[in-house]
Amino acid sequence: TGVPIFESSRITPEVYVGAQFGRRGKQALLDEGITGVVNMRVEYDDAAHGLALPEYCYLPTVDDAAPTVEHLQTGVDFMHRIIGKGGKVYIHCKGGIGRAPTMAAAYFISQGRNVDEAIALIKETRPFINITTPQLAALRTYEEVVRAQG
């Protein structure tokens, strides 16, 4: 896209999307007031490397693949819990390009946006995201589930 890829982006005051972080990155998240992390990487568990925050949600998803609707709901429930008590959530995969934005979009869908609006919101601050066809299909299914629940 010609747009530089930033390690992390603040989508809303409570929701951040980005890449995998190391020890310095963990401290930067804490300094930013991040209180919860959603990790979408099947290939890397933050907890196994001493990088998990106390509030940690691990939803292993293969790169370029779609999370299950159950994983999307688990992540959304986790985010609502953290944000509901005044916290901030950082969602990451390896590069913050596909899996993490997919989870962020599910959260915004749970707040009443449709799939396209949710993706557009993320692209405002992270324009280089690349949600794959399977990830987009999972979001459309998740949107149907959310709408059916009323």
Q: What is the pLDDT of residues 124-136, one digit of tens each?
A: 999 999 999 999 9
What CA–CA distance (Å, rounded) separates 66 from 63?
8
Domains, in order of start, for the chain? 9-149 (3.90.190.10)
What CA–CA distance (Å, rounded) separates 132 from 135?
5
Going residue by residue through the chain, which has 150 residues, state the pLDDT in tens, using 9 for 90 and above: 444 557 899 999 999 999 999 999 999 999 999 999 999 999 999 999 999 999 999 999 999 999 999 999 999 999 999 999 999 999 999 999 999 999 999 999 999 999 999 999 999 999 999 999 999 999 999 999 999 998
pTM for the full model?
A: 0.95
What token pair was written down for 83? Answer: 């944000």
Q: What percent of the chain has pLDDT over 90?
A: 95
Are 37 and 43 in contact by the 8 Å Cβ rule? The answer is no
What token pair was written down for 145? Answer: 């589930």
Match 């709901």 to its residue by tokens: 73
In angstroms, what is the C-alpha Rg of the chain? Answer: 14
